[in-house]
Amino acid sequence: MKLFKVVILCFFLLGNFSIGLCAQTDLSAVEEQIQILKDDIEVLQDQLEETSQDNFNRMSISGYTDLEYHESSDPDIQPGFRLHHMSLFFEKRITDSWKFFSEIEYEDGPLFEAEDGTFKDADGKIFLEAVNFTYFFHPMANFRGGRFFTPAGLWSVDHYPPFVPTQIRPEHVRKVFPQVVDGITTFGTMPMGSVFLNYDVYYGNGEDANGNGDNDSNKAAGAKFSLLIPLFKYFEFGGSAYKDTLADSTEKKAYGGHLKLKFYKFIWQNEYATAKFDKETDSYKRAGYYSQLQFDTQHWTLGGRYDYYDEDDRDDNDRTTSTGFINYHVNDSIVLKLEHHNVKFKDKTADEDYDHTIASVVIYLGN
């Protein structure tokens, strides 16, 4: 009986020892796995920091290109293909607050040949449309310097062919307000309850100047204000103003208004702009407007635009353009366009009405 108790006690002690040994072994394995996970996390953190730094150091390159085919009853427009745009965007996020952007546009397949320092052949156009640095200080106040698109209306800012329904822009765009400004601007968004105010205020060289500097001591100044109101899917309206003294001492003052709203699958976009040119001997006005309605459904965009432009109110050279368009979006980067423009002139003795049809393929060269 005593022997039996001794054997039982031995088994009991041996069992407890085994359980303790196993528990100690499991604990060591868990600690080892935890250490491995810690090491893996440190490696991932290092890789994330390197990737983030690479993104800052990397120059992003994108852009767009298009191919057009033209048919027109205007004898000055011959039927044929046009290599209209090849634009390259260079963008670099230098720090969290600093950003660089530039756009170089090659238009109509440019070719330049020189011999002995003199051009013997020049076709097409190469233009540095934008090159600037932006400092993001606060959502309500940011700063940009360099060459930038003139903040005026809607089309002047959002004008890229992959994202607008027609290859031909409204008549008055770039003819009342200039295309670009070389100078400085401050911009931002200010909340006003449920309404937001977007603003741009800029100061720079006159529109006759080039990148080498201004051609006189006068500077151009302008501003754009837009109110975003929580109506429909999107509702924006605002105004633009611009003042400049041209190279021939003509005083130019331009004003404009814009309205854009989205409801259901429709987008209704409108702009009006006018400029007064005061010379020493006389003065004249220039004006234009358009109203465009489009319907978007899945891959398709359909719509129309009515366009008016009067280059000089001293003459009867008013013109109107009625446009119909249809786009098929193959995907987010490729769009096929068909547009027809009917152009009519007020003075039939100076110009004849004509039709102009364009079929195009536009490709966005995104990242």
* DSSP track, 172-228: TTTTSS-SEEEEEEEEEEEEETTEEEEEEEEEE--TT-BTTB-SSS--EEEEEEEEE
Task: Give the model's pLDDT for residue 14.
Answer: 43
Task: Give the model's pLDDT for residue 280.
Answer: 86
Query: Residue 255: how many CB atoms within 10 A of its CB?
Result: 18
Those residues of the chain that have pLDDT short of 50 are 1-14, 17-19, 21-23
Q: Which of 275, 151, 154 is nearest to 222 (CA)?
A: 151
Task: Give the model's pLDDT for residue 13.
Answer: 43
* Cα gap 312→251, rounded to integer Å: 15
Burial of 114 (0-12, 13-18, 19+ CB in 10 A): exposed
With beta carbons less than 8 A apart as the criterion, state whether 259 and 239 touch: no
For 209, list phi and psi in degrees, rounded to 5.
-80, 170
Which amino acid is it at 132? Answer: N
Task: Give the model's pLDDT for residue 3.
Answer: 40
Task: Give the model's pLDDT for residue 112.
Answer: 85
Task: Give the model's pLDDT for residue 49.
Answer: 66
For 4, list phi and psi in degrees, rounded to 5.
-65, -40
Tens of pLDDT, residue by residue over 164-222, are 999 999 999 999 999 999 999 999 999 999 999 999 999 999 888 777 777 777 899 99
Token digits for 365? 């060269």
Task: Give the model's pLDDT for residue 123.
Answer: 87
With beta carbons less than 8 A apart as the criterion, state whether 64 and 84 touch: no
Task: Give the model's pLDDT for residue 356.
Answer: 98
* Cα gap 181→222, rounded to integer Å: 10
Task: Give the model's pLDDT for residue 11.
Answer: 41
The single residue listed with the structure tokens 């233009």 is 127
Burial of 264 (0-12, 13-18, 19+ CB in 10 A): exposed
Q: Where are the beta strands (DSSP E) in 33-172?
A: 60-72, 80-82, 85-93, 98-115, 118-138, 141-149
* Cα gap 329→332, rounded to integer Å: 7
- Give kind and range of the element (H or E) at residue 25: helix 2-57
Which amino acid is it at 46? Answer: D
DSSP-based three-state secondary structure for 152: coil
Tell me the chain's radius of gyration from C-alpha atoms: 32
Q: Which of 199, 147, 200 is nearest to 178 (CA)?
A: 147
